[in-house]
Amino acid sequence: MKKIAAALTAAMLALSSGTMFTASAEGDSDYSPSLYFKAYDSENYQILPNGTVYVRIDNTNDSVTSINAGVYIKDDMKQAGHIIAKWKCESEYITLDSLTDPITACGQSPYTEFKKVADIRLDADTENNIQSVSYALGMWLDPFTVAGNASDDYPLAVFDAVINADTPAGMYTIDFMTEETSNLCDILYKYGADIASKEFFPSGDQAPSLRINMSDRMLGDVNNDGVVDAVDATLTLRAYTRILSNMDSGLTLAEAAAADVDGDGAITGIDATLILRYYTYVLSYGDIDFITYLKTNK
Ligand SMILES: [Ca+2]
Ligand SMILES: [Ca+2]
């Protein structure tokens, strides 16, 4: 059945390829849906404005931290009609677990065609730390009907990323699968106003990773003296200068994770500036914590 659907899809794509130029003339040729992760709020970790999860690890006890997250499709034009999302974590310290359909997790599937739990296909490959969810009908003719106002009012699936108690500080990611040719994220969507369809393998900006920065110290406190101040900004700027000169940052993994305050996975002048700006705020009797400050002063 799956093969037949794939063959039909291929045939439809072949038939429709001639009309794609017409569609691009209509002005939406650059459009495509995208996938993204969203970590849900918890007392066990903090979420930076860009969605990166900051985990303050404590290797002195055996506590396990679980990050609860959802996988979403952003499809403003509501054109998607076949969705396969696959993601993996390559770190041995993080285990993907508790893959759950959105009906069980939050009472609603993102698409009205998928009303029952059994309509949504979940797969967990625990050996390779891979999870996936598929929204597929036997033969694709029309885009799915979005249940909420937007395609991402409800997740495609939710899962836990379980962080082992002995996880070293550092920067980790959970990644959509975008490289292996036989095991990709795959979305079919309508293309333009006509019947033409397009198969799309989201990658890069259209399938950003979930970033998890872990450190034994609070965000921004690079030297771990309990305060975020000009010294931390200076250390961050020095590391950035070294990186610019093609040298090692000179920071330990715990220092680097604490220095990446905007959570983009790199240490740059922006991180140093944010630390300095927060320090200036604290000097003028500001009393909110760094992450709340970052969220309210984006
Ligand atoms: Ca400090
Ligand atoms: Ca950064």
Q: Which pTM does this prediction carry?
A: 0.86
Residue 32 in this model has a pLDDT that exceeds 50: yes
> In terms of domains, do 227 and 126 share one?
no
Ligand nearest to the CA of 257: 2
> In terms of domains, do 208 and 246 share one?
no
> In terms of domains, do 187 and 68 share one?
yes
The rounded Å distance from CA 295 to ligand 2 centre is 15
* CB environment 249-261: b (16+ within 10 A), e (fewer): bebebbbbbbbbb
Question: What pLDDT digit, counting tens, does each position of 253-294 carry?
Answer: 999 999 999 999 999 999 999 999 999 999 999 899 999 999
The rounded Å distance from CA 240 to ligand 2 centre is 10
Question: What pLDDT digit, counting tens, does each position of 195-248 carry?
Answer: 567 888 888 899 999 999 999 999 999 999 999 999 999 999 999 999 999 999
In the chain, the number of structural domains is 2
Ligand nearest to the CA of 171: 2
**How far is residue 103's CA from residue 292's CA, in Å, rounded to a whole number?**
32
> In terms of domains, do 20 and 143 share one?
yes
> In terms of domains, do 264 and 172 share one?
no
> In terms of domains, do 102 and 235 share one?
no
How far is CA 54 from each of CA 88, 95, 172, 215, 236, rounded to the nearest angstrom?
19, 17, 10, 8, 17
**Final residue of a structural domain among 214, 238, 273:** 214
Q: Which residue has the tokens 């931290």?
A: 65
The rounded Å distance from CA 57 to ligand 2 centre is 19
The rounded Å distance from CA 47 to ligand 2 centre is 14
> In terms of domains, do 37 and 103 share one?
yes
> In terms of domains, do 7 and 81 share one?
yes
The rounded Å distance from CA 267 to ligand 1 centre is 16
Q: Which domain holds residue 270?
A: 219-296
Q: What CATH number did the domain enclosing 279 receive?
A: 1.10.1330.10
Ligand nearest to the CA of 219: 1
